Amino acid sequence: MFDLLVKNGKRINGEKVEVAIKDGVILNVDTTIESPAEKIIDLAGEHYVSAGWIDDHVHCYEKMTLYYDYPDEIGVTKGVTTVIDAGTTGAENIGDFYELAKKVKTNVYALINISKWGIVEQDELADLTKIQADLVHDRLVELPQFIVGIKARMSKTVIGENGITPLELAKDIQRKNQNLPLMIHIGSAPPELQEILAVLDEGDVLTHCFNGKPNGILDKETDQIKDFAKVGYEKGIVFDIGHGTDSFNFHVAETALKAGIKATSISTDIYHRNRENGPVYDLATTMEKLRVVGYSWEEILDKVTNVPAHYFHLEKKGKLAAGYDADLTIFDLSNGEKTLTDSNGFTRTAKELIKPVKTIIGGTIYDN
């Protein structure tokens, strides 16, 4: 007997789907499953089902003061089954973060900031003595079930006078630790984006990929994507949205799409202020923005499930398939009108809206 059977759901392409779950694991996915279950959810052909949504760039260590939130406020209540905190904490405080994260409903993972206290202050990489590779290694050994990569913020307000050096140190830490995933934040120069992309390798994650800043991928004079950005994209650098308060611009995203450049993964860079006051609000709203830009719902869902699970090595997440963790998002798509605002105050009108209605994490059902 199954613990849970989800009946009469729809995949995003409209195909009927049913999902059987036992002991927190998906045991069967088919068009029809006839078997007893302790609990049955009948979606009556009205709701869509996907693998649980993953937001691979959030800030949810509640003890911080600059950027913080609470995992369940940005996770399970928003249809998101898994969040990856993007470097809020470093080697000195990530252990405490882990203890807090174990107590919530949402699956929480973390990227460890190469600065040992994380984002306690805006300029955490201005003092290179805070980058201690041995401490990072020790935490990676201690918390392999929690830490899924490393993070360095490479923009003017963060690095002080250190130029490209923090990134070079991050790459050295990466090489010495089994080439763990590396996420790099970009913003205002220095360092120049061209310098950053030259150091990154295939599979490294460039977050805030469609920001509207002069040091972004768009050449403001020609209104074209910079050639070196195209080279980096073609090299296999992961272009991650990382919407945030100041890092997503509709025009940049639209221009990139016309040039054949799509975000590899979709994430929010959410924390309490841009959740409460916008322009982020939640992952669903960011997904709607990419739909307005011109992405299909099929690829949008892939970029919040399978893609982040792949790049951050979450081997049992991201797919609606037997043997994967029983993390599902049940949602509706509807026609309507909604004004969407990017990080620079520009707006677009969404005609198709996505709304999570139930979140299933490890086989446990939560209503949205």
Task: Provide the residue count of the chain.
Answer: 368
Task: Name the phi and psi angles at 116, rounded to 5.
Answer: -65, -20
Query: Crossing angle for the helix pair 165-175 and 133-142, nearest 10 degrees?
Result: 40
CB 352 within 8 Å of CB 338: no
Q: CA 355 to CA 368: how far, in whole Å?
A: 9
Phi-psi region of 337 (alpha: psi -120 to 50; beta: other; left: phi over 0): beta
Question: Has 208 been labeled as part of a binding site?
Answer: yes
Q: CA 304 to CA 317: how far, in whole Å?
A: 11
Question: Has 59 been labeled as part of a binding site?
Answer: yes
Question: Has 185 been labeled as part of a binding site?
Answer: yes
Closest by CA to 243, choosing from 159, 194, 296, 185, is 185
Sign of the Cα pseudo-torsion (153, 158, 159, 164, in order): positive
Question: Facing residues of 316 across strands?
Answer: none
Task: Name the binding residues for Zn(2+).
Answer: 57, 59, 151, 185, 208, 269
Task: Name the binding residues.
Answer: 57, 59, 151, 185, 208, 269
